[in-house]
């Protein structure tokens, strides 16, 4: 297949590009380094520097013999993305190219505007790139489980049948996002649904939970091929923050009561899910929504796991509750379904003690680089 990976420099994009290239596909990775720029601007440096995309592709070729083509381009620029579709003519496009941080989107009006315009702008341009040049191309879009919020009923995979006054129909599952970033994902889904039902584009929208991990078969070939790892309050997800805190000798900071439940998955499973989506394209005009996680944990469960394994490794790990900077329920019902990816063949890699120990050991190699002041919350939802 010819696979276009938008956001190919990112935490997920780079391992995805390597994975598809290593399986013999023709891969073009596109990025404009927005995340690198935003990290600098918000004082949120990653744990270790990663080479720029061209350099990563060169090292990957040297280590594996496989090619990842690279292009630096801003996917909000209609002309740039139009040329990319016209020249590369992809069979599938994996669209990761968004501003992915809830806290970043809540920093200021300007950060919220950038998030909205960037995320919706890229999705819109991808749709038109497909319509203009490769109408059969399968759009694989990364959404988030955060689109659903925490409703008091079971969360289905994207759709719900509603009976009203004796009649029934199938609708997009109601969404109630908790940040402006998550709201852009809701809007993306609506945009894709409009173009699927009206113009016949094929779409898979993957409602993904927070991803953790650094190890993939290709990333393990060389230290310089590892994905970017953020442990800060803005771009770091909770598992990575806890791992960095445990290594740095800081208490793990649980926001509020810690009963927030979410679905998590290993980076290896993101790669499997995206591969399974690509290998099983949907029909024209179909919007397939799949929930993409493998295990449900509360924040307290995660703190317990990381502290227990950290203590076994000789770290002295404490857990502290701090005032919650976000507006969210800290105790709630949560029963989210996820069967479609398992039915397609996903074989989950659960968060075992060995997996946590592996992350702690990798992060410990960079212990001296952890900047403690960047971990505690710097963005408040209600200011």
Residue 97 contacts ligand NAD per CB under 6 A: yes
Q: Which is nearer to ligand NAD, 74 or 318 (CB)?
A: 74
Q: What is the DSSP letter of 152?
A: S
262 burial level (CB within 10 Å; 0-12, 13-18, 19+):
buried
Interface of this chain with ligand NAD, residues 194 to 213, rule: CB under 6 A: 208, 210-211
Ranges within 256-275 binding ligand NAD (CB under 6 A): none
User: Is residue 35 a contact residue for ligand NAD (CB under 6 A)?
Assistant: yes
Where residue 281 falls (left for φ over 0; alpha for ψ -120 to 50; beta otherwise) is beta
Question: Pick the catalytic residue: 144, 204, 294, 362?
Answer: 144
Alpha-carbon distance of 96 to 69, in angstroms, equals 17
Nearest distance, CB of residue 273 and ligand NAD, angstroms: 11
Out of 75, 126, 277, 346, the only residue in the binding site for ligand NAD (CB under 6 A) is: 75
Is 114 marked active-site? Answer: no
57 binds ligand NAD (CB under 6 A): no
96 touching ligand NAD, by CB under 6 A: yes
CA distance 39 to 231: 11
The SS3 call for residue 282 is coil
Q: 320: helix, coil or strand?
A: strand
For residues 92 and 90, give the distance between their C-alpha atoms in angstroms, rounded to a whole number.
5
User: How far apart, in whole angstroms, are the C-alpha atoms of residue 179 and residue 309?
Assistant: 32
Residues 99, 43 contacting (CB under 8 angstroms): no
Interior angle at CA 155, CA 150 and CA 158, nearest 5? 115
The upper half-sphere exposure of residue 211, i.e. CA atoms within 13 Å in the direction of its Cβ, equals 30
Instruction: Determine if 12 is a binding residue for ligand NAD (CB under 6 A).
Output: yes
User: Which residue among 11, 85, 148, 338 contacts ligand NAD (CB under 6 A)?
Assistant: 11
Active site residue 185: yes
Residue 31 binding ligand NAD, by CB under 6 A: yes
Tell which one of 7, 129, 158, 178 touches ligand NAD (CB under 6 A): 7
Tell me if 60 contacts ligand NAD by CB under 6 A: no
Which part of the chain contacts ligand NAD (CB under 6 A), choosing from 56-64, 74-82, 148-156, 332-340?
74-82
Indicate which residues carry an active-site annotation. 144, 181, 185
* Contacts with ligand NAD, residue ranges (CB under 6 A): 7, 9-13, 30-35, 74-76, 96-98, 100, 118, 122, 142, 144, 208, 210-211, 228, 237
């Amino acid at each position: 297949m010819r696979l276009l990976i938008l956001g190919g420099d990112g935490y997920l994009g780079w391992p995805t590009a390597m994975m598809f290239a290593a399986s013999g596909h023709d891969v073009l990775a596109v990025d404009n380094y927005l995340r690198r720029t935003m990290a600098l601007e918000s004082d949120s440096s990653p744990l270790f520097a990663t080479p720029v995309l061209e350099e990563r592709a060169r090292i990957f070729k040297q280590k594996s013999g496989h090619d990842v083509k690279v292009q630096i381009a801003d996917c909000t620029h209609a002309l740039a993305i139009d040329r990319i579709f016209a020249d590369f003519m992809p069979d599938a496009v994996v669209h990761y190219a968004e501003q992915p941080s809830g806290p970043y989107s809540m920093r200021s009006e300007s950060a919220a505007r950038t998030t909205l315009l960037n995320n919706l702008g890229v999705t819109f341009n991808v749709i038109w790139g497909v319509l203009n040049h490769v109408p059969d191309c399968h759009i694989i879009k990364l959404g988030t489980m955060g689109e659903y919020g925490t409703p008091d009923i079971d969360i289905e995979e994207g759709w719900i049948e509603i009976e009203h006054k004796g009649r029934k129909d199938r609708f997009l599952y109601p969404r109630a996002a908790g940040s402006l970033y998550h709201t852009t994902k809701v809007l993306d889904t609506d945009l894709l649904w409009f173009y699927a039902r009206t113009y016949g584009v094929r779409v898979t929208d993957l409602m993904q939970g927070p991803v953790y991990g650094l190890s993939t078969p290709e990333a393990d070939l060389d230290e310089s091929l590892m994905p970017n790892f953020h442990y800060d309050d803005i771009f770091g997800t909770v598992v990575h923050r806890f791992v960095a805190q445990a290594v740095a000798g800081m208490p793990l900071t649980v926001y509020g009561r810690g009963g927030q439940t979410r679905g998590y998955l290993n980076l290896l499973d993101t790669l499997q899910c995206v591969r399974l989506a690509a290998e099983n394209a949907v029909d024209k005009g179909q919007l397939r929504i799949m929930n993409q996680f493998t295990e449900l944990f509360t924040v307290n469960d995660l703190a317990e796991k990381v502290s227990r394994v950290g203590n076994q490794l000789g770290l002295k790990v404490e857990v502290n509750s701090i005032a919650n900077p976000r507006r969210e329920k800290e105790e709630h019902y949560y029963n989210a379904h996820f069967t479609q990816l398992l039915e397609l063949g996903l074989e989950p890699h659960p968060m075992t003690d060995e997996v946590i120990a592996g992350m702690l050991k990798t992060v410990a190699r960079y212990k001296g680089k952890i900047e403690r002041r960047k971990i505690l919350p710097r963005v408040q939802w209600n200011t």
